[in-house]
Amino acid sequence: MINCLLASTSTLYGGQYLDYLFDALKDLYQNTNEVLFIPYARPSGISHKSYTDIAAKAFNQIGKKIVGVHTFENPIAALEKTQGIFTGGGNSYVLVDNLYRFGLMDKLREVIITGTPYLGTSAGSNIAGPSIRTTNDMPIVYPPSFDTLGIVPFSINPHYLDPDPASKHKGETRETRIKEFHAFNTTPVIGLREGSWIRVQKNETTLLGGGLSAWIFEKDRDPYELPVGSSLGFLK
């Protein structure tokens, strides 16, 4: 059974990396002391090692050890063996490109579906849906596909921002971009505000965290808000 936590962001304004999630992570990783980190998204282009060091420092505070998947000669075997996985945020295209390049996409899906606890933040949450077609990132590399894990039947838009009614900017709002997505796709989209996360556990999918509510976008329907605590199991 899938056991995962999909967060909009790793870090809240004024907070430290992952600190607002520490209690939830103790629960998610209760049966393991070591978590395999997937650093491929490389925020700001930092190295795999630097990124893994950041994750390790945070996990150290909840008594867990982090090991970077890039340190293994056989990363597929590392995924099969680990009792916990964390994919950090950064650039979704680079992340997906690397997962395909190292042949890890199918194996990652398989171990999550069979119960390995999984944490995603930002780009790491985006890949839990069927594709990265609702990412906010720049397409700085061309991956072999936009298709991703599909362990949840909806697509997450991380770092969701409500339109600013005072803005004089004419670039598309997030809402307009998701409307364009639904001109070509039928997958429901969750506009997940910073501070919120989605917990999949024991066949239940629930909106949690401090983001108060999330926006739900379905094709041919006006978008609507759901409060924290809502079940998302009805979305297909």
CB 101, min distance to its own copies, A: 13
Total binding residues for its own copies by CB under 8 A? 46
- What are the DSSP calls for 188-200, one per residue? -EEEEETTEEEEE
What does the angle CA 131 – CA 135 – CA 140 come to, to the nearest 5 degrees?
100
Q: How many angstroms separate the CA atoms of 89 and 58, rounded?
A: 15
Q: Does 234 bind its own copies (CB under 8 A)?
A: no
Q: How many angstroms separate the CA atoms of 78 and 46, rounded?
A: 23
Q: Does 194 bind its own copies (CB under 8 A)?
A: yes
Q: Does 162 bind its own copies (CB under 8 A)?
A: no
Contact yes or no for 55/37 (Cβ under 8 A): yes
Q: Which of 53, 159, 182, 230 is catalytic?
A: 159
Can you tell me which of 1, 77, 140, 212 binds its own copies, judged by CB under 8 A?
Answer: 140
Q: Does 139 bind its own copies (CB under 8 A)?
A: yes
Can you tell me which of 171, 203, 220, 234 binds its own copies, judged by CB under 8 A?
Answer: 171
Q: How many angstroms separate the CA atoms of 156 and 26, rounded?
A: 24
Q: Does 82 bind its own copies (CB under 8 A)?
A: no
Active site residue 122: yes
Q: Which C-beta is closer to its own copies: that of 73 or that of 220?
A: 220
Q: How many angstroms separate the CA atoms of 154 and 157, rounded?
A: 10
The interface region with its own copies, picked from 42-50, 64-72, 99-107, 203-211 by CB under 8 A, is 42-50
Q: Does 211 bind its own copies (CB under 8 A)?
A: no
Q: Does 48 bind its own copies (CB under 8 A)?
A: no
Interaxial angle between packed helices 92-101 and 105-113, expressed in degrees from 0 to 180 and rounded to the nearest 10: 90
Backbone φ, ψ for residue 205 (5° rounding): -120, 115
CB 138, min distance to its own copies, A: 5
Number of neighbours of residue 227 by Cβ within 10 angstroms: 9
Q: Does 165 bind its own copies (CB under 8 A)?
A: no
Known catalytic residues are 122, 137, 159
